[in-house]
Amino acid sequence: MTNKAKEDAEKRDAAAVAKCLAEHTFPPKLSGWELFRSIGSPKHVVAPMVDQSELAWRVLSRRYAADLCYTPMFNAKLFAKDVKYRDEHWAGLKDGIGGGGPNDRPLIVQFCANDPEYLLQSALLVAPYCDAVDINLGCPQHIARRGHYGSFLMEDWPLIASLISTLHKNLPIPVTAKIRVFPEAEKTVEYAKMVVAAGAQILVVHGRLREMKGHLTGVADWEKIRLVQEAVGHLVPVIANGNILYHEDVAACMEKTGCAGVMSAEGSLYNPAIFTPGHPESWRLAEEYLTICDELDTKVAYVRGHLFKIFRPSLNVHVDLRSELGLANSRETMWEVTRKLKERLIEDEEKSRQSGESFEGRKDEQGFPILPHWVAQPYFRQPMPPQEQKDTSAKKEGDQNVETTTASTKRSADESGHRDSEDHTNTTVKSKSSGNKNTMSEKERNRVKNKKAKYAATKCQNESGCNNAFSATCSSHRCKGCCRQYQREIERYDCPPHGIRSMQKEMRGRLPRVDSDEAIGGVALEGMIVGSSVASFVAPAVEGEEHEPKAAERCLIL
């Protein structure tokens, strides 16, 4: 940036700050521990989660001992420039509602950004309605790599310092930051010192590396968090994030790290009462959440996503209700599914009690509590098996070898959680090349080698980190399993190779007759549009669950 451009940017920043100060009154700006004490010295913190820490979820979390909540991550550039995006993500911002009201404090608003000017503009818009603005320096998703934000700024310390210092110098409220750790403890500590020196007044440390996500999430490193706390904890409060699965983990984390508080993300999604002792019935939490959603007119897609997580263990037992919940396109329908599941879960609990079954003190082979499916509990994401795993069971040659290898790889895939046909095919190729290596010709070896290279180039595009290959004709560039899960999320079941016929029929059965009065007018139903001749399904506008173009538009920062 030239000196002239820098001066112009500073003038624009000064004008924006002056406008904000003229329109709103702010208390004295606090820093570090003063800020922390002013918001009640929060020990229990609900993390910023895209599409999942919306207002209704924050209200529910506060009822179960959450002391501080973050908004979902907002894209600073889009928030500053696009009124439609701003209204969609924070409805009623100009009126001070939709977040930051009397029932939604203390509150920290989080932005992802790589441009200080857009970040300041966005922060000034929300400053009157929150206690601080947070900068996301920890998002590990592929879309963050493309947009150049989140954890993919970790190597660009000057830019990070510029983002934080711009808000620290100009914003009338404090700035905070959320980071991930480096593989090296020393570099992590130096990184944290730089972030604090730039102006961050609260530091949240997620004890995982940037590469640890999806099936590769792994265990957070509390020791690195402890080292950061020892290095900067006397200057600003440090909050630990990672490995909070049960209520007991909160105290254990604070004791191990010495941090001022603990942040929970996934743990709170599967059990919003994680900051209170015990495990409440999932249907009670669901009913309470739905009641809040009715009062706040929460988006249907947000509600559906939360219900799937709250009811996850229950839906593994009552699988028929899973599709009903996936097809629910109104809160009324979700109430119906919840009531059905409630009746079944109460019956399951009663049968268990009458049979004398007890879960007290029961643990699995890893030492985790075994809980009944009708209570809220954490979800353990299964690790992906190594892609180069070899199958040594194939010993025969020719066609017999292929058949034997195919059968064994299917069994291996079933045991490790793979049910995708493309994955079976590629595993078979690998098993054949290893189990019959000595008998293959040079030509055949080259063919197998080329298939491996092709497999690596067509990796499933699901952001959870799936390592399967995707079908060439798949509309979403996903493997079969991930594509079908994605179709259920967006309520479109028309992928050419992976279409779900049962869902297509069920959705078609809900359409009005083409010659009816309802259809003649081209009536728009929630979740679908009915035309004069054909019915085309349109996914609801869901934050984080929309069709791909909108998601890319929403998160891409140029």
Helix (H, G, I), strand (E, B) or coil at 535: strand
Alpha-carbon distance of 494 to 479, in angstroms, equals 15
| CA dist 17 → 93, 172, 249 (Å) | 18, 8, 42
Give the tokens for residue 136.
Answer: 């996301």
Give the tokens for residue 32.
Answer: 């570090």
Burial (CB < 10 A; 0-12, 13-18, 19+), residue 343, is exposed
Alpha-carbon distance of 321 to 481, in angstroms, equals 19
Side chain identity, residue 35: L
Backbone region of residue 148 per phi and psi (left: phi > 0; alpha: psi in -120 to 50; beta: other values): left
Instruction: Give phi and psi for 539, each to the nearest 5.
Output: -65, 140
Alpha-carbon distance of 310 to 290, in angstroms, equals 12
Length of the chain: 558
Residue pair 132/202 in contact by the 8 Å Cβ criterion: yes
Helix (H, G, I), strand (E, B) or coil at 177: strand
| CA dist 215 → 377, 462, 463, 468 (Å) | 19, 11, 10, 12
Alpha-carbon distance of 183 to 189, in angstroms, equals 11
Side chain identity, residue 555: C
Residue pair 386/466 in contact by the 8 Å Cβ criterion: no
Residue pair 504/493 in contact by the 8 Å Cβ criterion: yes
Q: Which is it for strands 524-525 and 528-530: parallel, antiparallel or unpaired?
A: antiparallel
Alpha-carbon distance of 520 to 251, in angstroms, equals 62
**Which candidate, 459, 394, 401, 465, places its Cα nearest to that of 426?**
459
Burial (CB < 10 A; 0-12, 13-18, 19+), residue 177, is buried
Query: Angle CA(47)–CA(53)–CA(58) in degrees, nearest 5?
Result: 95
To the query of whether residue 130 is one of the catalytic residues in this protein, the response is no
Question: What single string gives the DSSP state of each residue in 61-130?
Answer: HHHTT--EEEEEEEEHHHHHH-HHHHHHHSTTGGGT-SSSSTTS-SEEEEEE-S-HHHHHHHHHHHGGGS
Give the tokens for residue 188.
Answer: 């992590």
Question: What single string gives the DSSP state of each residue in 470-534?
Answer: PPTT-TT---HHHHHHHHHHHT----TTT--HHHHHHHHHTSPPTTSHHHHTT-EETTEEE-SS-
Side chain identity, residue 548: E
Q: Among the options 139, 253, 479, 495, which is catalytic? A: 139
List active site positions: 139
